[in-house]
Amino acid sequence: MEELIKKMRKDPELQVSESQIEEWIEEITDKGFHYLEGKTYEIIEKEKEEALQEYPSTVKEAWLQSLKQYRVVYDIQDVVHGQYARWLYWTKNHTRIPDEPVYGNALHRGGTLTHIRFTGNDVYFHVLFNPQKNFRGSFSLNSTILFQRISPEEHMVLLSEEGDTSP
């Protein structure tokens, strides 16, 4: 997204003024991205590192690389419906032993969050894995770490938070 903004500023054919870019950023920011208030890319990366701190460094580094365009989500009000998400889970052939991390041994390829279901003692996310085949599933928020892909609008908010809107 940052590269797109830089190209917009430099491309004479687009004829987008600095004030138009600032208006666009302000409009996006006003849409209610409260969960990004005070956040920067550096903070988001640190939050992911902290979320994965119990895992071996080789696994953690591979997952962090795979989650470059994602943010960790801890609070239900920070979840964005319709956005792509990934999470940690236990594979079918592996049961957790006491000294292993709580949340799983694999990073799921993910899917689009469609809705949330509340039960007496848990919260379940319903996910669309494959729209063409209407393949769906669900997972418990209480037993995983959730990561959501950062949308283009969220990138704009993060760029405005960092004050990095200059070429």
Contacts of 149 (CB under 8 A, 6+ apart): 69, 70, 83, 84, 85, 86
DSSP H stretches of helix in the chain: 2-10, 18-29, 41-51, 57-66, 152-162
pLDDT of residue 42: 94
- Cα angle value 129/31/81 (rounded, 5°): 15
Burial of 31 (0-12, 13-18, 19+ CB in 10 A): exposed
Q: How far, in Å, CA of 164 to CA of 42, rounded?
A: 13
pLDDT, tens digit, 9 for 90 and up, residues 17-30: 667 666 766 665 55
- For residue 166, tell me if it sits in a domain: no
pLDDT of residue 10: 64
- For residue 123, tell me if it sits in a domain: yes
Pairing between β-strand 146-149 and β-strand 84-89 as defined by DSSP bridges: antiparallel
**Structure pTM?**
0.76
Contact criterion met (CB below 8 Å) for 75 and 115: no
pLDDT of residue 105: 87
- For residue 64, tell me if it sits in a domain: yes
Q: What is the mean pLDDT of residues 40-56?
A: 94
DSSP H stretches of helix in 52-149: 57-66
Contact criterion met (CB below 8 Å) for 42 and 48: no
Q: How many domains does the chain contain in total?
A: 1
Place of tokens 């928020």: 141
Domain span at residue 32 reads 2-161
Pairing between β-strand 106-107 and β-strand 84-89 as defined by DSSP bridges: antiparallel
- For residue 73, tell me if it sits in a domain: yes
pLDDT, tens digit, 9 for 90 and up, residues 108-165: 999 999 999 888 888 899 999 988 888 999 998 888 999 999 998 888 888 876 664 4
- For residue 37, tell me if it sits in a domain: yes
- For residue 167, tell me if it sits in a domain: no
- For residue 140, tell me if it sits in a domain: yes
